[in-house]
A and B are shown apart, each in its own frame.
Chain A
Amino acid sequence: MVIRAFIILIVISLTLFVAVFQFNKFKTSPIKYVVYFIGYVFISETVANSYLSNGMSTVIINNVYSIAYTFFNLFFYSILIKNNRAKKIGYIMMFIFSIGLLINQLFFQEFEHKLQTYTFILGLFLVTILVFIYLSEIMNSDKIFKLTNTSVFWISIGIIIFNFGFIPVLVVAELIRWEGIYNYILLFVNVIMYSCFITGFIISKKEYNI
């Protein structure tokens, strides 16, 4: 297994471990869905790595991951957002993403053999916008007082850094044949994102987790 992939798997495992250990804090809040999703990511990464070691193609696993990542985040933040109009924006984004996925499938990047970079970029954009909408809603509510004590804040920071950092390299990924800088940036943004998640899970206090 490549060292980089190994490090990412270690970081994900650590995040999952901390999340399960601190699960009592989020049992009754939507953050438990994040824990379940990290569980899915762990399984996906493990399977992908074993496919790679056996020389099999991981295109489908990666495509499923990119779609799951987008849908999950759009869904998660739509639940968190209280304002009904903003919630609708989340649902519309899911719809737009679905359309984008379908179009990409049919005309540009076939699902089984090509990595869905275009849809992933679209997804990352949409998720980033929704996260900012959520953060601006928090700024105008009482939650602003104990912001750094909530897990969602740290999760949002992690997602923003991942999305911002990953989009540029994803645009040219095919050109540089998924090598070199692509792998380093992928490693870097993953480590930062999961570190934010771990910080959020550890620092947050139960009463502030919604």
Chain B
Amino acid sequence: MEQTEIQLLVFVTTIIVLILAITLIVFFFYFQQKKTAYLLKQRETQLLFEEEITKSKLEIQEQALQNISWEIHDNVGQLLSVAKMQLNMMQYTLPEEQQAGIQETGDIIGKSLQELRGLAKSLNPETIKNKGLIESLTQEVERYNRLNFINASLEVSEEYFNLSNEKEIILFRILQEFCNNTLKYSKAKELKINLNFENDFLNIIAEDNGIGFDINDKTKQSGIGLINIKSRGELIGAKIELNSDINMGTKLYISCPK
């Protein structure tokens, strides 16, 4: 075969091979675009689905809490009221030295009734809706202080605004969960909640001075409902951060748009 013929053959072969290579690359690009679009759509659907699940969970939870609240108030509360009334009536039929004892028992039942009513209110979402976030939190803080083993305080910035019912209930529940964890686990002496209404954001800082926990320990995270807190926050567009370290207390930051 002559030189020129070989050269021509090589030239044509190279062109064909290069066209093949470029076709492969173009197909690759096309396939990549399609797959990316598909994966993105899949992820979006998954996120929407998870959001719906969280919403349903919350609704069921609120409904359950409302039912419990009614039971406490209507059932147990009524029973205790009756017991107190009967004790009052019985008091005057007894000799004087026994009256003091009965009076004390009546007082204890009265206090229990008061605490039960407070608990029922804090569980009932209707109360939070009617009273708003600030007042509900104030009552909750007072309830904690009555327990006498922690010093709880609430600070609210001078200017404040109302958020939607949905946001206020969720924020209240998040803070309630945080406070319950503090009471149950942290052995803290102080619990501070700070509400700062700025421009279009409500910034909340809740902290205790307790024994803290290792933030990287995954088992603790599910125990304290951290995942719950975060998914609830995501529903209302709030940014949530939890910081803690052994013996350094625990701090919860929430930033919720108006």
| Chain A interface (Cβ < 8 Å from any Cβ of B) | 135, 139, 144-145, 147, 157, 160-161, 164-165, 167-169, 172, 175-176, 180-182, 185
Q: Taking CB as reference atom, which chain B residue is nearest A145?
A: B36
Question: Which residues of B are at the interface with A, using a C-beta cutoff of 8 A?
Answer: 3, 6-7, 9-11, 13-14, 17-18, 20-22, 24-25, 28, 31-32, 35-36, 39-40
Bound form: Cα–Cα A127–B46 in Å: 39
Interface SS majority for chain B: helix
Least Cβ–Cβ distance between A43 and chain B, in angstroms: 28
Q: A161-B21, A165-B17 are in contact. Are A144 and B10 (CB under 8 A)?
A: no
Contact A168 B32 (CB under 8 A): no
Instruction: Using CB atoms, name the residue of chain B closest to A132.
Output: B24
A-B contact pairs, 24 of them (CB 8 A): A139-B31, A139-B32, A144-B32, A145-B40, A157-B25, A160-B24, A161-B22, A164-B20, A165-B17, A165-B21, A167-B17, A168-B13, A168-B14, A169-B10, A169-B14, A172-B9, A172-B10, A176-B6, A180-B3, A180-B7, A181-B7, A181-B10, A181-B11, A182-B10
B38 CB to closest chain A CB (Å) equals 10
CA distance A135 to B9 in the complex (A): 31
What A residues does B22 contact at CB under 8 A?
161
Checking B3, B18, B39, B40 against A176 with a beta-carbon cut-off of 8 angstroms, the contacting residue is B3
Are A165 and B36 neighbours in the complex by a CB distance under 8 Å?
Answer: no
Q: A188 CA to B95 CA in the complex, in Å? A: 116
Task: Report chain A residues within 8 Å CB of B6.
Answer: 172, 175-176
Give chain A residues whose Cβ lies under 8 Å from the Cβ of B21: 160-161, 164-165
Interchain nearest-CB distance for B44 vs A (Å): 13
Q: Across the interface, which residues of B come within 8 angstroms of A164, CB to CB?
A: 17-18, 20-21
User: Beyond the given A161-B25, A175-B6, A182-B10, could you list 18 further A-B residue pairs with CB under 8 A, ordered by the A residue number?
Assistant: A139-B31, A144-B32, A144-B35, A145-B40, A147-B32, A161-B18, A161-B22, A164-B17, A165-B14, A165-B18, A167-B17, A168-B10, A168-B17, A172-B6, A176-B3, A176-B6, A181-B7, A181-B14
Chain A residues within an 8 Å CB radius of B9: 172
Closest Cβ of chain B: how far from A145's Cβ, in Å?
6
Min CB distance B43 to A, Å, is: 10
* Cβ 8 A contact of B39, one of A135, A145, A161, A180: A145
